[in-house]
Each structure stands twice: as C-alpha cells, then as structure tokens.
Amino acid sequence: MSTELRGYVSRIRRFVITTAGREVRPKSRTARLRILNEGANVVRLYLTQQDFTNDVEFIVLAASGGLFDEKIEVGGATNGETPVYFLRSLVGDSTVVTLEQYLRS
C-alpha cells in the first residue's frame, strides 16, 4: 500500500478484526482512508455507530485483498468528538491494514 500522496501525513496501522467488530479512532479527521483486507474472511466497514449497531449501510471488503480507498472524512463529529469508523469480520478473525491520511496543516 503506497503512502506517497503529496500534501498528506500518513499513519499505517494493522488490526485483527473479529466477528464482534472493532471501533477504530483515527488521531484526527481523515482526508483519505485506505483499508486493505489481508485476511481470509470478508470484512464490513461501517462509517457510523448507528450503522454498526444495526448492521446496515456497510461497505464490503472481500477476503484476501479487498480494498477500500476513498477521499473521505471519517466520522460525522464536528463538535470536538473523536471521529471513528467500525470494522467487523463476518465469519472468523481477519487481519486488515489501514492507511489513514491527514491533510498537512
């Protein structure tokens, strides 16, 4: 996963995602988000707590190479809350790599 985009500061993290799911808190609002599913199980990406809780409005990352790559501000918080996104594996554990990119200030 290349991190060479001009004007961005990048942060790469690796997680094991389970069927219970995981809340991910970037250090600040993202300008671009990339998530690569390296595991053998399908992973769902949710952009809001409500969608995660109700298991609706998700993006599917296919097993073994599924990729989400969008210019997106993760989280809808504008009142000082920490922006978050959520990941859940459908069957068993799956490893994902995230690349969070922030605009240089």
Tokens 């501000």 belong to residue: 73
3-state secondary structure of 79: coil
- Name the band, by pLDDT with cuts 50, 70 and 90, for residue 76: very low
pLDDT single digits (tens) 23-50: 998 877 788 899 999 999 999 999 888 9
Residue 75: is its pLDDT beyond 80? no
Dist. CA 50–CA 83, nearest whole Å = 14
The answer to whether the pTM exceeds 0.85 is no
pLDDT of residue 81: 57
Q: Which has the closest alpha carbon to 69: 101, 105, 38?
A: 101
Mean pLDDT of 58-65: 95
Average pLDDT, the chain: 84
Domains recognised in the chain with CATH numbers: 8-103 (2.60.120.10)
More confident of the two residues 34 and 102: 34
